[in-house]
Amino acid sequence: MGKLLCDSSVAEALPPSPAPSPPTPLLTWTSPDPAPTSWTAVAALEDQQRRRLHRIWERGVAWKPPAPLPEVGADGNCLFTAARRAAAAKPDARDLRHRIVRRFADVYAAADAPDREAIDAAVRHLYAPDLNAGWGVHVVQDLKLLSPKAQRDDLDAAIRDLVDLGIQREMAAETIYKERCMAVNDGDSWAKYMSVSGSAEDEHDIIALQYTEEGLLTIDENRDGHAAAFGDDIAIECLATEFKREVYVVQAHGADAMVDEDNCVFFLPHRPRGEICEPPIFLFMKGTAWCGAGADHYEPLIATALQNVTPDKAAVVL
């Protein structure tokens, strides 16, 4: 968590503001005391990410050490924790997760058939991909399944029955999980999946089958039930709608993301469905993963308007 500072020289290419007005703070808290430093102060960045971010720093964008708040925990709920802090929202991360799931469910239920089909296709792409395709981009692909916590013993018994027949344990588990668990392949199952926060109070456990082009690689059976559903673009749009604010993600990928260094840092805007009532919030996503699409960790970028800058050279402190 920290600050990006963007001076006026970085924003020279921005078009003039159509209506000059004094800048207003984006968030309510004050700036932390430590002076800006380079991105070397940011933990858990790979060399490729750090080099690219350093080039941004040379143009006036610097990391500012965080205020005395604990770091965002790497517990699978980081998107919701980071968004909560960036928006100064009151609900805790688990409550915020459930609020955006309810919001999504309402939108999905009210959508017409073409929109529902588009949502279903997006969910399948993320969590139930066609294993006959996509290998030009992905090295490993995941199938996400949901297992009711109450049925864990029944699943284990069914797997043992197949093992007793001479089937290899991993193959037996793959067969039973695919037959008896819920695939995350449409809007309804996405809502159940995104509700999973890694708590004992969750209704389902997440089971992940990981594949390479050659076949099954491994199974994450999540026996302790602590795996949470990581936030995705659908969840971020729901957060934007919940807050009635645009959400901008500053995304930096590592060397294993199959992108070159010049393109390893980019910006993803997410607009709310409906009106925008407040200024945007900003999140920093430190991503790796085999395919470059996974989110390893989200942190908030605390944003305030840059003071004493003429509108034609508008810039923001992220």
d(CA 171, CA 159): 9
Task: Sort strands 141-148 and 204-212 into parallel, antiparallel or unpaired.
Answer: antiparallel
Please report the pLDDT score of residue 58 as a whole number. Answer: 62
Digit-coded pLDDT (tens) for 60-108 = 555 555 555 667 777 789 899 989 888 888 889 999 999 999 999 999 9
d(CA 289, CA 273): 29
d(CA 240, CA 242): 5
d(CA 223, CA 188): 24
Model pTM score: 0.76
Are 257 and 291 within 8 A, CB to CB?
yes
Please report the pLDDT score of residue 269 as a whole number. Answer: 80
* Segment (H or E) for 267: strand 265-270
d(CA 91, CA 273): 21
Give me the mean pLDDT over the 269-273 stretch. 87
Give the length of the chain. 318
Residue 250 Cα distances to 6, 44, 121, angstroms:
14, 15, 25
